[in-house]
Each structure stands twice: as structure tokens, then as C-alpha cells.
Amino acid sequence: MITARPEMASLSDDALIAGFEAGTLPAASFDHVAHVRVAWVYLGRLPPEVALLRICAGIRQLATRVGHPGKYHATITWAYVALVSEHRRDGESFETFRERCPSLFDGNELRRMYPDGALKAARTREAFVFPSRLVTHDI
């Protein structure tokens, strides 16, 4: 399992979201675990469609701030928000969620949903593309 960077893991949910929305989180520390945690926090506070819009805007803002606006990937972002929304349980801690859903942190879940190379295509970066394979198991 991917280990969270200490500087991100030590932030409270409120501090993580405040830094994300202000665009002040250090880009080098904003790893996959932090991305998933932002989704997890937002989905606990907001309807999924509002959470998705905020996550997309925040990731785009961060990528632009560090000079890599093309780094934002629509399909990966949307897919992870949907997966986190599907598997998130009210009252569960983020650490418990991580332990219960390891495939959301090791990169394997999207590999099951998209064929090899699909997520490298420009069209999947620019706009959400539905998966060609449906995953019907519990994580």
C-alpha cells in the first residue's frame, strides 16, 4: 500500500481542505493518497456532484500553479471520485477506509476498469471516458 506523506497525513481534514481550496498545499507532497483523501473528505461533507466539481477545480488550480496545467487527468479524477463515493462509509475514519479498500491506493482498480494504454490517451485526460470494463466486486 502507498504510504501517505507525513506532511499530508498530519493535517486535519479541515486543514487539508483549506490548503487544497486555497491552492497552498505543496505540490510535491500532494500525492495519490492526498488526492483520495480530499475526495473522501469532500464526499463526507457534500453531495457527490458538488464534491466532484470542487475536486476537479482544485486539482486544475494546483497543476496550473506549479506550471503543469496539462497534468490534470479528467478520467482518473472522475473515476476515483466515483469509486470513493461508492465505497465510503459514514462514520469510518480515513485510515480504516484505506485498510478496507487497498485497491484504491495501489493503482489496480483502474487497471481492471480500463484496457492497457487507455488512460494514456489524450481524450481520457481532457474529458471523462466511461470504463470499458465494469468491476462488480466489493473492494
Q: Identify how many contiguous H helices and E strands the chain contains and give both numbers.
A: 8, 0
pLDDT above 90 for 101: yes
pLDDT above 70 for 65: yes
Where in the chain are the domains?
A: 6-126
C-alpha 34/C-alpha 2 separation (Å) is 11
Judge whether 36 and 105 are in contact, CB under 8 Å: yes
Please state, in angstroms and as integers, the Cα–Cα distance from residue 5 to each residue in 28, 38, 126, 136, following that order: 10, 14, 28, 31
pLDDT band at 83 (very low <50, low <70, confident <90, very high): very high
pLDDT band at 12 (very low <50, low <70, confident <90, very high): very high
33-53 confidence digits (pLDDT tens) = 999 999 999 999 999 999 999
Mean pLDDT of the chain: 89
